[in-house]
Amino acid sequence: MSLTRPFDSLAGRTAVVTGGARGLGHAIAAALRDVGMTVLIVDRDAAALAAGLEELAGGGGTVEGVATTLSTDECVEPIEAALAALPPLSVWVNNAGRVSHEDAEAVDLHTFEEVMRDNTVSALRGSQLAFRRMTGGRGSGGAVVNITSLVTEKALPQRLSYATSKAALENVTRYCAQEWGPHGIRVNAVSPGYIDTRLTQWSEDDPRAVAKRAVVGTLPLRRTGGVDDIAATVLYLASPLAAYVTGQTVFVDGGWHLA
């Protein structure tokens, strides 16, 4: 590996980004495209996917899409079919998920189960698919990156379901890293802090906006993050620069976890 050209080995390979139609996933897909990868976006929102693909057209690589989820085993079939026609898979990013806000005493258990399914079970199902593709046939190992959240470390109000699902995903990360390392597959997580996306654009008097301003004022870097901060970290973990890094959760939070 050349330290001055660390992404050359990714060019011509395939990366999958779930929830890549917009927001964090869109930025991650763009970064992987720009280093010459073929990027397959998996997103449940067909309209958003179409718009995202149009925005990502061009650049250094190819971007394609599948409008589906990973919520059931049957959902894997169209992803498998798409991957069969693409270059070998080297990178899988589990970014798709859902946010839930509720007081602990009022958590609806059906909603709790849905959040666990969407944020943890679906990511594990995707990771298992990645394992099969990276170890069989044309596979030669690769990298899985899970997007978690700093709420696994910081008990923010009304985040019980979401935080539990992301904490579970960090455990999935560690267990898969340990078991899949001998197969040449590295598994890591990225834990964002406050990142400016459509999900964090609240009115000035919204309690969440008030809490956000209070937190940002205490951060060592004194700012919120941008989607490119996350995309850059994912690109690092996907590349040979992180060849000896596995089972880690990387905090991209402006130092929030230090407080």
Considering the candidates 162, 194, 236, 244, report the single residue annotated as catalytic: 162
Strand order in the sheet with 249-252: 63-67, 38-43, 14-18, 89-94, 142-147, 185-192, 249-252
Euclidean distance between CA atoms 139 and 32, whole angstroms: 19
Euclidean distance between CA atoms 224 and 8, whole angstroms: 31
The single-letter code of the amino acid at 214 is A
Give yes or no: 162 in active site.
Answer: yes
Q: Are strands 89-94 and 249-252 parallel, antiparallel or unpaired?
A: unpaired
Name the token pair of 32: 């992987």
Euclidean distance between CA atoms 166 and 161, whole angstroms: 9
Name the token pair of 3: 């330290």
- For residue 160, report the phi and psi dihedrals to the nearest 5 degrees: -55, -55
| Catalytic residue numbers, as ranges | 162
